[in-house]
Amino acid sequence: MEAGELRQNAVDPSQNAYTRIAGAWLRGQGVLIALILVFLFGVWRYGDKFTSDFNLWTLAKNNTYFALIALGMTFVIMTGGIDLSVGAVVALSAVTAARLSPHGLWIALSAAIAVGLIVGVINGGIISIFKVQPFIVTLALLLGARGAALNLSNNASVSVDYASNYKDLWNTTIGVVPLPVVIVIVAYLLGSVMLNLTRFGRHILAIGGNEEAARLAGLPLNRTLFFVYLLSGGLAGLAGALLAAQGNTGSPIAAVGWELTAIAAVVVGGTLLTGGRGSVWTTLVGVLLLGLIFNELNFERGKGIFDLTQYWEEVIRGLFLLIVIILQSRLTNTARVTRSM
């Protein structure tokens, strides 16, 4: 039994503090506790200004587009892939939505999602059929989608038609809840159902966890990969539509580097970058956690105690990414050892 115990211990989180932290974080508890602590810190330090309806709803609304691209990215990363094109897709669909806003909300919104889906089809098609590494395909599409956005906008920001009802997308509230927040909640509900209650969702995790095993089990590998990138493109398209509605404009140079925001939120939420493990709701918690941290940094700046410019945000996200990647490497390496035996 010694051998068995040894191997069990290899992944037993009680082994040492390092793996324990990694394990707890990845079970999704860590990120939720962190979110609560950061929130309580905000309540304690910034008081009513922080807990005001205005601040909290603005915070929620301004993170809706991140939440959408992070949701798509969650599925992509679960398969062991990556989608670097989402930021450019957001810009492209924002421009598309702004251009078509005179035709009304539904046409503009549908078109914005459609261009996202088209990029997703190209990404997913090349990755699943030709087996090219996802990073290079989506990196090329980052360039291509950005180019399309520049073309479509004649290299300048496109204003949303003020006469149209497009603004409703951003300003409508259902009860007290703004429409964008409702959209995000519905998207995450659907995403969660899909991941947990459909074969497609389970196959995403199986493929990322052990592609060879998935192949031997006869899972539809190509189809699953294709739809994952399609989904990511479509959600990025939706995010772009929201962005256009928020700023009343579609800018071809918007959303640069948003892939970082999405990837950081996904891994902070506990989804393994190497694939096979993760959850939808913790990604949302990851988005909120990062959003909250930057919100509080803003308050801190307002207090004038220390002044980190907004440009440090990227660095901080990068640091989060770094820490989680290192923590994850420990866990995936142990899992690899277990598997190879």
Partner 1 sequence: MSEHPPTPPGSQDVLLEMRDIVKVFPGVVALDHARLTVMKGEVHAIVGQNGAGKSTLMKVLNGAYRKDGGTIVLDGREVDFITPHQAQVGGISTIYQEINLVPFRSVAENIFMGREPRRFGLIDWPRMNREAREILAHFGIQLDVKQPLLNLNVALQQMVAIARAVSFGSKLVIMDEPTSSLDEREVATLFDAIHRLKASGVSVIYISHRLDELHEVGDNITIMRDGQTIEETSLASVSKLEIVARMLGKNIGELRREGTTGFAERKVDIESAPFYRAAHIEAEPVLRDASVELRKGEILGLSGLLGSGRTELARILFGADKPDQGSLTLDGKPSPIASPRDAIREGIGYCSEDRKAEGIIPEMSVRENLTLAALPTLTKNGIIDPNEQQAIVDRFVALLSIKTSDVEQPISQLSGGNQQKVLLARWLCLNPRLLLLDEPTRGIDVGAKAEIHHLIETLADEGMSVLMITSEIEEIVEGSNRVTVLRDGQTVAEFDRAQIGQDAIIAAMAEGSDPMPDTVEV
Partner 2 sequence: MSSVTSQLSSRSLSLTDLVRKSSQTERALFALIVLSLYNAFFTTNFLTVATLRVNLTQVATIVIVAVGMTFVIGSGGIDLSVGALMAISGALAPKIFTSQWGPLSNEWIGIPLAIVIPVLVAGAFGYFNGYLITKFSIQPIIATLVLFLGGRGIAKALSDGNLVEFNTPHFSYIGRGRPLGVPVQVILMIVIVIVAVWALRSTTFGRYVLAIGGNERAAELAGVPVTRVKRQIYVLCGLLAGLAGLIVVAINTSSDPYQVGDGMELDAIAAVAVGGTPLTGGHATVAGTVIGAFFIHQVRYTLISHGVPDGTTRMVIAAAILVAVLLQRPKAGWR
Per CB under 8 A, residues contacting partner 1 are: 1-8, 11, 193, 196-199, 202-203, 205-206, 209-210, 212-219, 272, 276-277, 335, 338-341
Put residue 199 in one of left, alpha, beta given phi > 0 → left and psi -120 to 50 → alpha: alpha
Could you tell me whether strands 158-159 and 249-250 are parallel, antiparallel, or unpaired per DSSP bridges?
antiparallel
For the bound state, the minimum distance from the C-beta of residue 269 to partner 1, rounded and expressed in Å, comes to: 15
Give CA–CA dist 101/113, Å, rounded.
13
Q: Among residues 101 and 328, whose Cβ is nearest to partner 2?
A: 328
What residue 83 binds from partner 1, partner 2, none (CB within 5 to 8 A, per partner kind)? none
For the bound state, the minimum distance from the C-beta of residue 105 to partner 2, rounded and expressed in Å, comes to: 26
Residues 6+ apart with CB under 8 A from 110: none
Give CA–CA dist 183/178, Å, rounded.
9
> According to CB under 8 A, which residues from 8 to 67 bind partner 2?
none
> According to CB under 8 A, which residues from 296 to 315 bind partner 2?
309-315
Residues 6+ apart with CB under 8 A from 130: none
Q: Which of 43, 302, 318, 339 binds partner 2 (CB under 8 A)?
A: 318
Buried b (16+ CB within 10 A) or exposed e, 306-325: eeeeeeebeeebeebbeebe
What's the one-letter identity of residue 110?
S
What residue 143 binds from partner 2, partner 1, none (CB within 5 to 8 A, per partner kind)? partner 2
Q: Among residues 18 and 106, whose Cβ is nearest to partner 2?
A: 18
For the bound state, the minimum distance from the C-beta of residue 280 to partner 1, rounded and expressed in Å, comes to: 15
Q: Among residues 128 and 251, whose Cβ is nearest to partner 1?
A: 128
The number of beta carbons lying within 10 Å of the beta carbon of residue 273 is 19
> According to CB under 8 A, which residues from 105 to 164 bind partner 2?
126, 130-133, 135-137, 139-144, 146-152, 155
What residue 147 binds from partner 2, partner 1, none (CB within 5 to 8 A, per partner kind)? partner 2
Taking CA atoms, 339 is separated from 8, 14, 15, 227, 237, in Å, by 12, 20, 19, 28, 38
Do 208 and 80 form a contact (C-beta atoms < 8 A)? yes
What residues make contact with partner 2 under the rule CB under 8 A?
Answer: 82, 126, 130-133, 135-137, 139-144, 146-152, 155, 252, 256-257, 259-260, 263-264, 273-274, 309-319, 321-322, 325-326, 329-330, 333
